[in-house]
Amino acid sequence: MVLVSDLVDRAELGVRAVLLPAPSAAVTWVVATELLQPASYLEGGELVLTTGLVMADTEAGTWRQYVASLVEAGVAALGLGTGIAFDAVPDDLREACRVGGLNLLEVPLEVSFASISRDVGAMLQAAGPAVGAEGAGDEEILVLQQLTRAAAKDNQSAIMRALASILRGEVSLRDAAGRTVVGPFGPAAPQIDDEVAECIARIRPGGMRGAGAVDLGDMRLVVRPVGMTGEPESYLATVQWETLTRAQALGVDLAWSFLNLIAESSKAFTGWLLQLVGAAAEHLLAGEVVQGLALADQAQDLVRKRLPSPARRLTSGTGGGHQWRVICLEGGGAAVAGLSSALARLLVERRGSPAGEGLLWRTDRDGTRLTILGEAEHVPALLEDDRVAPWAGRMRIGVSGSAGIADLPRAAQQALSVCTGARQVGQAVRWEDSGPPSVTDLLDQDKARAFARARLRGVAEQPELLELLEIYLSEAGAVQRIAERLGVHRNSVAARLVRLRRALGVDIEDAEQRANLWIASYFLKK
Protein backbone atom coordinates (compact mmCIF):
# COMPACT_ATOMS: atom_id res chain seq x y z
CA MET A 1 0.00 0.00 0.00
CA VAL A 2 1.23 3.52 -0.88
CA LEU A 3 0.28 6.27 1.58
CA VAL A 4 0.33 10.04 1.19
CA SER A 5 3.01 10.14 3.88
CA ASP A 6 5.14 7.84 1.69
CA LEU A 7 5.06 10.45 -1.06
CA VAL A 8 6.22 13.20 1.28
CA ASP A 9 8.94 11.01 2.76
CA ARG A 10 10.31 10.14 -0.67
CA ALA A 11 12.70 13.09 -1.15
CA GLU A 12 13.48 12.32 -4.80
CA LEU A 13 9.77 12.75 -5.65
CA GLY A 14 10.18 16.49 -4.95
CA VAL A 15 6.74 17.26 -3.43
CA ARG A 16 6.28 19.35 -0.29
CA ALA A 17 3.65 18.86 2.41
CA VAL A 18 1.44 21.91 2.99
CA LEU A 19 -1.33 20.23 5.03
CA LEU A 20 -1.50 16.57 6.09
CA PRO A 21 -4.72 16.06 8.03
CA ALA A 22 -4.88 12.43 6.80
CA PRO A 23 -1.30 11.26 6.09
CA SER A 24 -2.36 7.58 6.13
CA ALA A 25 -4.72 8.00 3.17
CA ALA A 26 -3.99 5.34 0.54
CA VAL A 27 -2.96 6.48 -2.95
CA THR A 28 -4.32 4.28 -5.73
CA TRP A 29 -3.05 6.25 -8.73
CA VAL A 30 -2.24 9.73 -10.14
CA VAL A 31 -4.45 12.10 -12.16
CA ALA A 32 -3.08 15.30 -13.73
CA THR A 33 -5.98 17.54 -14.71
CA GLU A 34 -6.82 21.18 -15.41
CA LEU A 35 -10.56 20.58 -15.33
CA LEU A 36 -12.61 22.80 -13.05
CA GLN A 37 -14.84 19.84 -12.12
CA PRO A 38 -12.76 16.65 -12.37
CA ALA A 39 -14.70 14.72 -9.70
CA SER A 40 -16.89 12.88 -12.21
CA TYR A 41 -13.75 11.22 -13.60
CA LEU A 42 -12.45 10.12 -10.18
CA GLU A 43 -13.09 6.93 -8.27
CA GLY A 44 -11.29 7.60 -4.98
CA GLY A 45 -7.76 7.35 -3.68
CA GLU A 46 -6.21 9.52 -6.41
CA LEU A 47 -3.39 12.02 -6.09
CA VAL A 48 -4.80 14.90 -8.16
CA LEU A 49 -2.18 17.18 -9.74
CA THR A 50 -3.11 20.59 -11.15
CA THR A 51 -1.55 23.99 -11.86
CA GLY A 52 -4.87 25.62 -10.92
CA LEU A 53 -4.84 27.63 -14.11
CA VAL A 54 -8.64 27.77 -14.36
CA MET A 55 -8.74 29.07 -10.78
CA ALA A 56 -6.33 31.96 -11.29
CA ASP A 57 -9.00 34.64 -11.52
CA THR A 58 -11.67 33.03 -9.35
CA GLU A 59 -13.00 33.89 -5.89
CA ALA A 60 -12.39 32.01 -2.65
CA GLY A 61 -15.75 30.26 -2.95
CA THR A 62 -14.58 28.49 -6.09
CA TRP A 63 -11.68 26.91 -4.22
CA ARG A 64 -14.11 25.72 -1.53
CA GLN A 65 -16.37 24.11 -4.14
CA TYR A 66 -13.41 22.54 -5.92
CA VAL A 67 -11.96 21.01 -2.76
CA ALA A 68 -15.41 19.88 -1.55
CA SER A 69 -15.94 17.96 -4.81
CA LEU A 70 -12.56 16.26 -4.44
CA VAL A 71 -13.33 15.29 -0.84
CA GLU A 72 -16.68 13.87 -1.91
CA ALA A 73 -14.93 11.83 -4.62
CA GLY A 74 -12.59 10.35 -1.99
CA VAL A 75 -9.35 11.87 -3.33
CA ALA A 76 -6.26 11.01 -1.27
CA ALA A 77 -4.41 14.30 -1.83
CA LEU A 78 -4.27 17.40 -3.99
CA GLY A 79 -0.95 18.52 -5.44
CA LEU A 80 -0.74 22.12 -6.67
CA GLY A 81 2.00 22.92 -9.18
CA THR A 82 3.37 26.36 -8.33
CA GLY A 83 5.27 28.75 -10.55
CA ILE A 84 2.76 28.90 -13.41
CA ALA A 85 -0.67 30.14 -12.33
CA PHE A 86 0.35 30.69 -8.68
CA ASP A 87 3.77 31.57 -7.28
CA ALA A 88 2.81 29.98 -3.95
CA VAL A 89 -0.07 27.95 -2.54
CA PRO A 90 -3.03 30.40 -2.15
CA ASP A 91 -4.33 30.98 1.36
CA ASP A 92 -7.89 30.33 0.12
CA LEU A 93 -6.89 26.87 -1.11
CA ARG A 94 -5.04 26.12 2.12
CA GLU A 95 -8.13 27.09 4.17
CA ALA A 96 -10.48 25.07 1.94
CA CYS A 97 -8.31 21.94 2.42
CA ARG A 98 -8.13 22.52 6.18
CA VAL A 99 -11.91 22.71 6.41
CA GLY A 100 -12.38 19.69 4.14
CA GLY A 101 -9.64 17.60 5.75
CA LEU A 102 -7.88 17.09 2.39
CA ASN A 103 -4.15 16.48 2.18
CA LEU A 104 -2.48 19.34 0.30
CA LEU A 105 0.94 19.10 -1.39
CA GLU A 106 2.99 21.64 -3.29
CA VAL A 107 4.75 20.66 -6.53
CA PRO A 108 7.56 23.13 -7.31
CA LEU A 109 8.04 24.32 -10.88
CA GLU A 110 11.19 22.26 -11.39
CA VAL A 111 9.29 19.01 -10.64
CA SER A 112 7.28 17.73 -13.60
CA PHE A 113 3.90 16.06 -13.26
CA ALA A 114 5.23 13.38 -15.61
CA SER A 115 8.01 12.43 -13.20
CA ILE A 116 5.58 12.23 -10.27
CA SER A 117 3.21 10.04 -12.29
CA ARG A 118 6.09 7.79 -13.36
CA ASP A 119 7.54 7.43 -9.85
CA VAL A 120 4.19 6.91 -8.11
CA GLY A 121 3.26 4.37 -10.79
CA ALA A 122 6.46 2.46 -9.98
CA MET A 123 5.62 2.61 -6.26
CA LEU A 124 2.14 1.24 -6.93
CA GLN A 125 3.54 -1.57 -9.06
CA ALA A 126 6.00 -2.48 -6.34
CA ALA A 127 3.18 -2.48 -3.75
CA GLY A 128 1.43 -5.32 -5.61
CA PRO A 129 -1.83 -5.85 -7.52
CA ALA A 130 -4.03 -5.65 -4.45
CA VAL A 131 -3.64 -1.86 -4.39
CA GLY A 132 -5.26 -1.35 -7.70
CA ALA A 133 -8.12 -3.66 -6.89
CA GLU A 134 -9.54 -1.18 -4.40
CA GLY A 135 -9.21 1.82 -6.67
CA ALA A 136 -8.26 2.04 -10.30
CA GLY A 137 -8.96 -0.93 -12.52
CA ASP A 138 -6.52 -2.73 -14.78
CA GLU A 139 -7.40 -0.63 -17.81
CA GLU A 140 -6.87 2.63 -15.92
CA ILE A 141 -3.50 1.47 -14.60
CA LEU A 142 -2.39 0.45 -18.08
CA VAL A 143 -3.42 3.86 -19.46
CA LEU A 144 -1.52 5.59 -16.68
CA GLN A 145 1.59 3.54 -17.31
CA GLN A 146 1.45 4.00 -21.09
CA LEU A 147 1.10 7.79 -20.90
CA THR A 148 3.65 8.34 -18.15
CA ARG A 149 6.23 6.34 -20.12
CA ALA A 150 5.49 8.52 -23.15
CA ALA A 151 5.56 11.74 -21.10
CA ALA A 152 8.95 10.81 -19.64
CA LYS A 153 10.39 11.38 -23.15
CA ASP A 154 9.25 15.05 -22.96
CA ASN A 155 8.09 14.62 -26.54
CA GLN A 156 4.76 15.68 -28.05
CA SER A 157 4.79 12.94 -30.66
CA ALA A 158 5.34 10.17 -28.09
CA ILE A 159 2.41 11.36 -25.97
CA MET A 160 0.12 11.69 -28.97
CA ARG A 161 1.04 8.26 -30.32
CA ALA A 162 0.20 6.79 -26.93
CA LEU A 163 -3.10 8.68 -26.83
CA ALA A 164 -4.01 7.50 -30.35
CA SER A 165 -3.40 3.92 -29.25
CA ILE A 166 -5.57 4.41 -26.15
CA LEU A 167 -8.42 6.06 -28.08
CA ARG A 168 -8.10 3.86 -31.16
CA GLY A 169 -8.71 7.08 -33.07
CA GLU A 170 -6.88 9.88 -34.86
CA VAL A 171 -4.86 12.41 -32.81
CA SER A 172 -3.15 15.51 -34.19
CA LEU A 173 -1.80 18.90 -33.12
CA ARG A 174 -3.07 21.84 -35.17
CA ASP A 175 -2.10 25.50 -35.48
CA ALA A 176 -4.55 28.39 -35.12
CA ALA A 177 -5.55 28.05 -38.79
CA GLY A 178 -6.30 24.34 -38.43
CA ARG A 179 -3.17 23.14 -40.25
CA THR A 180 -1.53 19.97 -38.90
CA VAL A 181 1.80 20.64 -37.15
CA VAL A 182 2.32 17.28 -35.37
CA GLY A 183 0.81 13.98 -36.51
CA PRO A 184 -1.69 12.72 -37.34
CA PHE A 185 -1.37 9.48 -35.41
CA GLY A 186 -3.75 6.54 -35.29
CA PRO A 187 -6.49 5.46 -37.75
CA ALA A 188 -7.02 8.21 -40.31
CA ALA A 189 -10.18 10.30 -40.10
CA PRO A 190 -10.99 11.32 -43.69
CA GLN A 191 -11.53 14.96 -44.69
CA ILE A 192 -11.85 16.66 -41.31
CA ASP A 193 -9.53 19.63 -41.98
CA ASP A 194 -12.38 22.05 -42.67
CA GLU A 195 -14.29 20.94 -39.58
CA VAL A 196 -11.18 21.30 -37.40
CA ALA A 197 -10.50 24.81 -38.76
CA GLU A 198 -14.12 25.86 -38.18
CA CYS A 199 -14.08 24.46 -34.63
CA ILE A 200 -10.82 26.30 -33.81
CA ALA A 201 -12.20 29.56 -35.23
CA ARG A 202 -15.29 29.13 -33.03
CA ILE A 203 -13.45 28.43 -29.78
CA ARG A 204 -10.44 30.70 -30.31
CA PRO A 205 -12.04 33.79 -28.67
CA GLY A 206 -12.24 31.76 -25.45
CA GLY A 207 -8.44 31.53 -25.28
CA MET A 208 -7.12 28.73 -23.09
CA ARG A 209 -10.58 28.06 -21.69
CA GLY A 210 -12.19 27.33 -25.04
CA ALA A 211 -13.02 23.79 -26.16
CA GLY A 212 -15.28 22.39 -28.83
CA ALA A 213 -16.82 19.17 -30.07
CA VAL A 214 -18.43 18.28 -33.41
CA ASP A 215 -20.41 15.15 -34.30
CA LEU A 216 -19.47 13.92 -37.78
CA GLY A 217 -21.78 11.01 -38.46
CA ASP A 218 -20.23 8.03 -36.70
CA MET A 219 -17.20 10.12 -35.63
CA ARG A 220 -16.82 12.68 -32.86
CA LEU A 221 -14.24 15.45 -33.16
CA VAL A 222 -13.01 17.20 -30.01
CA VAL A 223 -10.66 20.20 -30.10
CA ARG A 224 -8.82 21.58 -27.05
CA PRO A 225 -6.37 24.50 -26.80
CA VAL A 226 -2.84 23.51 -25.73
CA GLY A 227 -0.93 25.66 -23.25
CA MET A 228 -1.48 27.48 -19.98
CA THR A 229 -0.75 31.18 -20.48
CA GLY A 230 -1.26 33.72 -23.23
CA GLU A 231 -3.03 32.88 -26.47
CA PRO A 232 -3.11 29.26 -27.67
CA GLU A 233 -0.53 28.52 -30.35
CA SER A 234 -1.76 25.00 -31.01
CA TYR A 235 -4.81 22.80 -30.51
CA LEU A 236 -5.19 19.10 -29.72
CA ALA A 237 -7.66 17.47 -32.11
CA THR A 238 -8.94 13.97 -31.32
CA VAL A 239 -11.34 11.84 -33.34
CA GLN A 240 -13.04 8.79 -31.87
CA TRP A 241 -15.50 6.32 -33.32
CA GLU A 242 -16.79 4.90 -30.03
CA THR A 243 -18.07 6.27 -26.74
CA LEU A 244 -15.07 6.73 -24.48
CA THR A 245 -14.58 4.46 -21.52
CA ARG A 246 -13.65 6.00 -18.19
CA ALA A 247 -10.04 4.96 -18.73
CA GLN A 248 -9.97 6.57 -22.20
CA ALA A 249 -11.50 9.81 -20.89
CA LEU A 250 -8.90 9.98 -18.15
CA GLY A 251 -6.22 9.19 -20.74
CA VAL A 252 -7.28 12.17 -22.85
CA ASP A 253 -7.20 14.48 -19.85
CA LEU A 254 -3.80 13.22 -18.70
CA ALA A 255 -2.27 13.48 -22.18
CA TRP A 256 -3.70 16.98 -22.56
CA SER A 257 -2.16 18.03 -19.24
CA PHE A 258 1.23 16.69 -20.31
CA LEU A 259 0.99 18.55 -23.63
CA ASN A 260 0.06 21.75 -21.77
CA LEU A 261 3.17 21.50 -19.61
CA ILE A 262 5.42 20.80 -22.61
CA ALA A 263 3.90 23.77 -24.47
CA GLU A 264 4.53 26.11 -21.53
CA SER A 265 8.12 24.92 -21.16
CA SER A 266 8.63 25.29 -24.92
CA LYS A 267 7.16 28.82 -24.84
CA ALA A 268 9.70 29.93 -22.23
CA PHE A 269 12.54 28.34 -24.20
CA THR A 270 11.36 29.95 -27.45
CA GLY A 271 11.17 33.34 -25.76
CA TRP A 272 14.82 33.16 -24.73
CA LEU A 273 15.82 31.86 -28.15
CA LEU A 274 14.03 34.69 -29.98
CA GLN A 275 15.70 37.28 -27.76
CA LEU A 276 19.16 35.88 -28.49
CA VAL A 277 18.78 35.46 -32.27
CA GLY A 278 17.09 38.87 -32.52
CA ALA A 279 19.91 40.58 -30.63
CA ALA A 280 22.51 38.72 -32.72
CA ALA A 281 20.82 39.81 -35.95
CA GLU A 282 20.54 43.40 -34.67
CA HIS A 283 24.28 43.62 -34.02
CA LEU A 284 25.26 42.03 -37.33
CA LEU A 285 22.95 44.32 -39.30
CA ALA A 286 24.55 47.28 -37.52
CA GLY A 287 28.00 46.10 -38.59
CA GLU A 288 28.96 44.93 -35.07
CA VAL A 289 30.31 41.55 -36.13
CA VAL A 290 32.07 40.44 -32.94
CA GLN A 291 29.05 41.14 -30.71
CA GLY A 292 26.67 39.56 -33.21
CA LEU A 293 28.65 36.35 -33.55
CA ALA A 294 29.01 36.05 -29.76
CA LEU A 295 25.23 36.23 -29.33
CA ALA A 296 24.69 33.80 -32.22
CA ASP A 297 26.95 31.31 -30.43
CA GLN A 298 24.91 31.77 -27.24
CA ALA A 299 21.72 30.97 -29.18
CA GLN A 300 23.30 27.79 -30.55
CA ASP A 301 24.50 26.79 -27.08
CA LEU A 302 20.98 27.29 -25.72
CA VAL A 303 19.57 24.95 -28.37
CA ARG A 304 22.29 22.33 -27.83
CA LYS A 305 21.87 22.34 -24.06
CA ARG A 306 18.12 21.78 -24.36
CA LEU A 307 18.35 19.36 -27.29
CA PRO A 308 21.86 17.96 -27.85
CA SER A 309 22.89 17.96 -31.47
CA PRO A 310 23.50 14.58 -33.12
CA ALA A 311 26.82 15.72 -34.51
CA ARG A 312 28.29 19.10 -33.69
CA ARG A 313 30.50 20.60 -36.35
CA LEU A 314 34.06 21.52 -35.50
CA THR A 315 33.83 24.85 -37.29
CA SER A 316 31.16 27.47 -36.80
CA GLY A 317 28.76 28.22 -39.63
CA THR A 318 28.89 31.94 -38.82
CA GLY A 319 32.59 32.38 -39.63
CA GLY A 320 34.05 35.09 -41.70
CA GLY A 321 34.60 33.22 -44.96
CA HIS A 322 30.96 32.34 -45.53
CA GLN A 323 28.68 34.24 -47.89
CA TRP A 324 25.33 35.47 -46.55
CA ARG A 325 22.04 36.74 -47.89
CA VAL A 326 19.46 38.88 -46.13
CA ILE A 327 15.74 38.29 -46.60
CA CYS A 328 13.27 41.06 -45.83
CA LEU A 329 9.60 40.11 -45.44
CA GLU A 330 6.74 42.56 -44.89
CA GLY A 331 3.17 41.64 -43.98
CA GLY A 332 0.62 41.58 -41.19
CA GLY A 333 1.57 41.07 -37.55
CA ALA A 334 0.05 37.57 -37.48
CA ALA A 335 2.16 36.44 -40.45
CA VAL A 336 5.34 37.89 -38.91
CA ALA A 337 4.67 36.22 -35.54
CA GLY A 338 3.82 32.91 -37.20
CA LEU A 339 6.94 33.00 -39.34
CA SER A 340 9.12 33.82 -36.33
CA SER A 341 7.76 30.78 -34.46
CA ALA A 342 8.29 28.58 -37.54
CA LEU A 343 11.91 29.75 -37.77
CA ALA A 344 12.45 28.90 -34.09
CA ARG A 345 11.24 25.33 -34.75
CA LEU A 346 13.44 25.15 -37.82
CA LEU A 347 16.50 26.31 -35.89
CA VAL A 348 15.92 23.60 -33.28
CA GLU A 349 15.47 20.91 -35.90
CA ARG A 350 18.59 21.96 -37.82
CA ARG A 351 20.81 22.26 -34.73
CA GLY A 352 24.37 21.25 -35.42
CA SER A 353 23.98 21.59 -39.20
CA PRO A 354 25.34 24.41 -41.37
CA ALA A 355 21.80 25.52 -42.21
CA GLY A 356 20.88 25.76 -38.53
CA GLU A 357 23.98 27.54 -37.30
CA GLY A 358 23.73 30.18 -40.04
CA LEU A 359 20.12 31.18 -39.34
CA LEU A 360 19.27 34.41 -37.49
CA TRP A 361 16.36 36.82 -37.67
CA ARG A 362 14.80 39.87 -36.04
CA THR A 363 11.34 41.41 -35.92
CA ASP A 364 11.00 45.18 -36.29
CA ARG A 365 9.37 47.09 -33.43
CA ASP A 366 6.03 47.57 -35.19
CA GLY A 367 5.78 43.81 -35.79
CA THR A 368 5.11 44.02 -39.54
CA ARG A 369 8.59 43.30 -40.90
CA LEU A 370 10.94 40.39 -40.35
CA THR A 371 14.58 40.33 -41.45
CA ILE A 372 16.33 36.96 -41.86
CA LEU A 373 20.08 36.38 -42.10
CA GLY A 374 21.12 33.09 -43.65
CA GLU A 375 24.06 31.50 -45.39
CA ALA A 376 23.69 32.23 -49.09
CA GLU A 377 23.59 28.61 -50.23
CA HIS A 378 20.73 27.74 -47.86
CA VAL A 379 18.44 30.74 -48.48
CA PRO A 380 16.52 29.31 -51.50
CA ALA A 381 15.69 26.11 -49.61
CA LEU A 382 14.66 28.12 -46.54
CA LEU A 383 11.95 29.98 -48.44
CA GLU A 384 10.63 26.71 -49.88
CA ASP A 385 10.49 24.89 -46.52
CA ASP A 386 7.00 23.61 -45.68
CA ARG A 387 7.02 25.43 -42.33
CA VAL A 388 8.15 28.76 -43.79
CA ALA A 389 6.29 28.86 -47.11
CA PRO A 390 2.70 29.18 -45.71
CA TRP A 391 3.67 32.33 -43.78
CA ALA A 392 5.99 33.78 -46.42
CA GLY A 393 3.22 33.29 -48.99
CA ARG A 394 1.26 36.06 -47.25
CA MET A 395 4.12 38.58 -47.35
CA ARG A 396 6.22 40.70 -49.71
CA ILE A 397 9.73 39.26 -49.96
CA GLY A 398 13.06 40.80 -50.92
CA VAL A 399 16.34 38.87 -51.08
CA SER A 400 19.73 40.58 -51.09
CA GLY A 401 22.77 39.66 -53.12
CA SER A 402 25.54 37.56 -51.59
CA ALA A 403 27.66 39.40 -49.04
CA GLY A 404 30.39 38.77 -46.52
CA ILE A 405 29.47 39.05 -42.88
CA ALA A 406 30.96 42.56 -42.64
CA ASP A 407 28.72 43.73 -45.51
CA LEU A 408 25.42 42.62 -43.96
CA PRO A 409 24.20 46.21 -43.36
CA ARG A 410 24.47 46.89 -47.10
CA ALA A 411 22.79 43.57 -47.88
CA ALA A 412 19.93 44.48 -45.54
CA GLN A 413 19.38 47.72 -47.48
CA GLN A 414 19.27 45.73 -50.71
CA ALA A 415 16.71 43.29 -49.31
CA LEU A 416 14.52 46.10 -47.95
CA SER A 417 14.71 48.01 -51.21
CA VAL A 418 13.50 45.12 -53.39
CA CYS A 419 10.96 44.08 -50.75
CA THR A 420 9.26 47.49 -50.65
CA GLY A 421 9.18 47.51 -54.44
CA ALA A 422 7.74 43.99 -54.73
CA ARG A 423 4.35 43.98 -56.38
CA GLN A 424 3.35 40.34 -55.90
CA VAL A 425 2.74 38.89 -52.44
CA GLY A 426 4.54 35.61 -51.78
CA GLN A 427 6.92 35.99 -54.72
CA ALA A 428 10.53 36.57 -53.66
CA VAL A 429 12.31 39.36 -55.56
CA ARG A 430 16.08 38.92 -55.72
CA TRP A 431 18.41 41.90 -55.78
CA GLU A 432 20.19 40.53 -58.83
CA ASP A 433 16.90 40.44 -60.76
CA SER A 434 15.56 43.83 -59.68
CA GLY A 435 17.09 45.84 -62.53
CA PRO A 436 19.65 48.68 -62.52
CA PRO A 437 20.43 50.22 -59.13
CA SER A 438 18.57 53.33 -58.01
CA VAL A 439 19.64 56.23 -55.79
CA THR A 440 16.91 55.09 -53.38
CA ASP A 441 18.93 51.93 -52.69
CA LEU A 442 21.66 54.07 -51.16
CA LEU A 443 19.40 55.64 -48.54
CA ASP A 444 18.55 54.46 -45.06
CA GLN A 445 14.92 53.43 -45.46
CA ASP A 446 13.66 54.61 -42.07
CA LYS A 447 15.42 57.98 -42.37
CA ALA A 448 14.13 58.38 -45.92
CA ARG A 449 10.54 57.81 -44.78
CA ALA A 450 10.99 60.36 -41.99
CA PHE A 451 12.37 62.82 -44.58
CA ALA A 452 9.35 62.16 -46.81
CA ARG A 453 6.87 62.88 -44.02
CA ALA A 454 8.64 66.14 -43.13
CA ARG A 455 9.14 67.35 -46.70
CA LEU A 456 5.56 66.59 -47.79
CA ARG A 457 3.86 67.64 -44.58
CA GLY A 458 2.03 70.43 -46.41
CA VAL A 459 0.35 68.12 -48.93
CA ALA A 460 0.24 64.68 -47.25
CA GLU A 461 -3.29 65.26 -45.93
CA GLN A 462 -4.56 66.83 -49.18
CA PRO A 463 -5.10 63.98 -51.68
CA GLU A 464 -5.72 66.32 -54.66
CA LEU A 465 -2.41 68.15 -54.13
CA LEU A 466 -0.51 64.92 -53.52
CA GLU A 467 -1.90 63.50 -56.77
CA LEU A 468 -0.96 66.71 -58.59
CA LEU A 469 2.61 66.49 -57.26
CA GLU A 470 3.01 62.89 -58.41
CA ILE A 471 1.68 63.68 -61.89
CA TYR A 472 3.82 66.84 -62.09
CA LEU A 473 6.96 64.86 -61.28
CA SER A 474 6.16 61.94 -63.58
CA GLU A 475 5.42 64.27 -66.50
CA ALA A 476 8.50 66.45 -65.84
CA GLY A 477 6.31 69.56 -65.45
CA ALA A 478 4.77 69.38 -68.96
CA VAL A 479 1.52 71.35 -68.54
CA GLN A 480 -0.40 69.82 -71.44
CA ARG A 481 0.28 66.23 -70.33
CA ILE A 482 -0.60 67.15 -66.73
CA ALA A 483 -3.92 68.62 -67.95
CA GLU A 484 -4.70 65.49 -69.94
CA ARG A 485 -4.04 63.21 -66.98
CA LEU A 486 -6.15 65.39 -64.68
CA GLY A 487 -8.92 65.76 -67.26
CA VAL A 488 -8.92 69.56 -67.04
CA HIS A 489 -8.12 72.50 -69.32
CA ARG A 490 -4.42 73.44 -69.40
CA ASN A 491 -5.26 76.96 -68.16
CA SER A 492 -6.47 75.59 -64.85
CA VAL A 493 -3.21 73.66 -64.29
CA ALA A 494 -1.26 76.87 -63.65
CA ALA A 495 -3.57 77.87 -60.79
CA ARG A 496 -3.27 74.45 -59.24
CA LEU A 497 0.52 74.53 -59.45
CA VAL A 498 0.50 77.84 -57.58
CA ARG A 499 -1.41 76.16 -54.75
CA LEU A 500 1.06 73.27 -54.81
CA ARG A 501 4.08 75.64 -54.54
CA ARG A 502 2.51 77.42 -51.57
CA ALA A 503 1.68 74.18 -49.76
CA LEU A 504 5.21 72.82 -50.29
CA GLY A 505 7.00 76.08 -49.62
CA VAL A 506 9.62 75.45 -52.33
CA ASP A 507 10.20 76.26 -56.00
CA ILE A 508 9.03 73.11 -57.74
CA GLU A 509 10.83 74.12 -60.95
CA ASP A 510 14.24 74.05 -59.24
CA ALA A 511 16.09 70.87 -60.25
CA GLU A 512 17.43 70.10 -56.75
CA GLN A 513 14.04 70.67 -55.11
CA ARG A 514 12.34 68.55 -57.76
CA ALA A 515 14.77 65.70 -57.01
CA ASN A 516 14.07 66.02 -53.28
CA LEU A 517 10.33 65.96 -53.94
CA TRP A 518 10.64 62.86 -56.13
CA ILE A 519 12.54 60.98 -53.43
CA ALA A 520 10.07 62.13 -50.75
CA SER A 521 7.11 61.10 -52.90
CA TYR A 522 8.68 57.68 -53.50
CA PHE A 523 9.25 56.95 -49.81
CA LEU A 524 5.93 58.38 -48.63
CA LYS A 525 4.22 55.42 -50.30
CA LYS A 526 6.58 52.81 -48.75
Architecture of domain 445-524: Orthogonal Bundle (1.10)
Check pLDDT > 90 for residue 471. no
Confidence category of residue 56, pLDDT binned at 50, 70, 90: low
Spatial CA neighbour of 278 closest among 367, 349, 385:
367
Domain with CATH 3.40.1390.20 in the chain: 4-136
State which CATH number among 3.30.750, 3.30.70, 3.40.50, 1.10.3210 fits the domain covering 286-440: 3.30.70
53 versus 346: the higher-pLDDT residue is 346
Strands (E), 419-491: 428-430
Check pLDDT > 80 for residue 127. no
Strands 369-375 vs 324-330: parallel, antiparallel or unpaired:
antiparallel
Using the CB atoms, write b or e for 325-338: b if 16+ within 10 Å: bbbbbbbeeebbbb
Check pLDDT > 60 for residue 247. yes
The 8 Å CB, 24+ separation contacts for 250-253 are 250/31, 250/41, 250/140, 250/143, 251/143, 251/146, 251/147, 251/163, 251/166, 251/167, 252/163, 252/166, 252/167, 252/222, 253/31, 253/32, 253/33, 253/35, 253/38, 253/41
Check pLDDT > 60 for residue 133. no
pLDDT of residue 94: 93
What integer best gives the mean pLDDT of the chain? 79
pLDDT of residue 318: 46
Lowest mean pLDDT across 151-155, 304-308, 334-338, 452-456: 304-308
Q: Which residues pair with 26 in a beta bridge?
A: 3
Spatial CA neighbour of 383 closest among 444, 464, 328, 420:
328
Domain with CATH 3.30.450.30 in the chain: 153-265
Confidence category of residue 158, pLDDT binned at 50, 70, 90: confident
pLDDT of residue 268: 62
pLDDT of residue 70: 93
Lowest mean pLDDT across 106-115, 156-165, 314-323, 483-492: 314-323
Out of 262-271, 313-322, 435-444, give the one with best mean pLDDT: 262-271
Lowest mean pLDDT across 187-191, 295-299, 468-472: 295-299
Helix or strand (DSSP H, E) at 261: helix 246-285
pLDDT of residue 132: 39
How do residues 478-496 score in pLDDT, each as one tens digit? Answer: 888 888 888 888 888 888 8
pLDDT of residue 352: 53
526 versus 332: the higher-pLDDT residue is 332
390 versus 140: the higher-pLDDT residue is 390
28 versus 125: the higher-pLDDT residue is 28
Confidence category of residue 93, pLDDT binned at 50, 70, 90: very high
Lowest mean pLDDT across 216-220, 245-249, 351-355, 508-512: 351-355
The mean pLDDT of 134-150, rounded to a whole number, is 67
Out of 80-84, 154-158, 291-295, give the one with best mean pLDDT: 80-84
Check pLDDT > 80 for residue 401. yes
Domain with CATH 3.30.70 in the chain: 286-440
pLDDT of residue 230: 66
As to burial, measured by CB atoms within 10 angstroms (0-12 exposed, 13-18 middle, 19+ buried), residue 281 is buried
The mean pLDDT of 393-418, rounded to a whole number, is 86
Check pLDDT > 60 for residue 129. no
pLDDT of residue 215: 82
pLDDT of residue 226: 84
Q: How far, in Å, CA of 441 to CA of 421, rounded?
A: 11
- Give percent of the chain with pLDDT exceeding 70: 83
Confidence category of residue 315, pLDDT binned at 50, 70, 90: very low
Q: Helix, strand or coil for residue 49?
A: strand
The mean pLDDT of 275-294, rounded to a whole number, is 80
Q: Does domain 153-265 have CATH number 3.30.450.30?
A: yes
pLDDT of residue 350: 64
CATH class belonging to 4-136: alpha beta
pLDDT of residue 145: 72
pLDDT of residue 99: 93
Confidence category of residue 365, pLDDT binned at 50, 70, 90: low
Going across the sheet that includes 29-32, the strands are: 16-19, 103-107, 77-81, 46-50, 29-32
pLDDT of residue 436: 53
Lowest mean pLDDT across 123-137, 192-206, 233-247: 123-137
Q: Phi and psi of 272, rounded to 5°?
A: -65, -40
The mean pLDDT of 507-522, rounded to a whole number, is 83
pLDDT of residue 466: 86
Lowest mean pLDDT across 190-204, 243-257, 453-467: 243-257
61 versus 369: the higher-pLDDT residue is 369
